[in-house]
Structures are given as C-alpha cells and as structure tokens.
Amino acid sequence: MKLSKKILFICLLLQCLIINPLTLQPAKAQVDLWGNNVGTNAFNNIGFKEKDPREIVANIIKIALGFLGTIAVVLILYAGFLWMTAGGKPDTVSKAQKIMAAAVIGLVIILASYGLTLFITRSLSNAVG
C-alpha cells in the first residue's frame, strides 16, 4: 500500500512540475501600429484570453485523461518490475499479470476516450465556426 502511494505521489509531482509547465504559453504583447497596448483590461494583459466554455471543458478533460494515462503507464512499469523480480514465484507472477492486464485495458479505454473527446471537440468547433 505504501509503495502505491509513493508511486501516485511521484506521478502527481511529475505532472505538476514537468508536464503542466511545458504546456503553458508565454504572454504576447498586443500592440497596434503606433505602439499602444490593445488589450486594455487586466484579463488580457496577464496573458489570458477569453475562451469558449466548451474549449475550457475539453481542455480539462484532456488534462484529466493525460493524468490517467500517466498512471496507467506507471502501473504497467510497476507490473513489469514485479514480474521481473518474481524469481519464479507463481503468486507474484500472477499478481503482476493481473495488474498489467488491468492497466493495459485501462490504457485502451483512456486512449479511446481521448480520441472520442478530440473528435467531438473538433466536430463541434467546425460546426459552430
């Protein structure tokens, strides 16, 4: 139980410190031909822009599915480690096989739902304009 909590903590830490900062975009200055700032409200000046609520929900879903995919890959690695260090013990090998099978099924479901989310959001954005 303690090992799974440590693995989950490491996954969360990697997600927060490495993966999420890579997806952030730097703020771009909005200047017209004469050098005046176009973005006059504070929301635009700090780098945010007004987004459609559908885009926000789609991005939240994509981030959640990315996090779940990270957990599934870590579980596959853990099961492989268990299998390799089993030393021929049938109990440990069967435990590792069960974990790996469940993680692979979960990963397939996560990838399918990610593809479905991507398809739906692109279809909605093309239909709306």
The residue extents of the domains of the chain are: 10-128
- Is pLDDT above 80 for 23? no
Query: To 5 degrees, how large is the angle CA 106–CA 111–CA 112?
Result: 95
pTM for this predicted structure: 0.58
Rounded to an integer, the average pLDDT of 65-77 is 92
Q: Which residues pair with 31 in a beta bridge?
A: 37
Higher pLDDT, 28 or 84: 84
How high does pLDDT run on average in the chain? Answer: 79
pLDDT digits over 85-94, tens only?
A: 998 899 999 9
Q: What are the backbone dihedrals phi and psi of residue 37, each rounded to the nearest 5 degrees, phi first?
A: -70, 130
**62 near 114, Cβ under 8 Å?**
yes
- Is pLDDT above 90 for 96? yes
DSSP letter for each residue of 8-56: HHHHHHHIIIIIHHHH-------B-TTS-BS--SHHHHTT-----HHHH
**70 near 28, Cβ under 8 Å?**
no
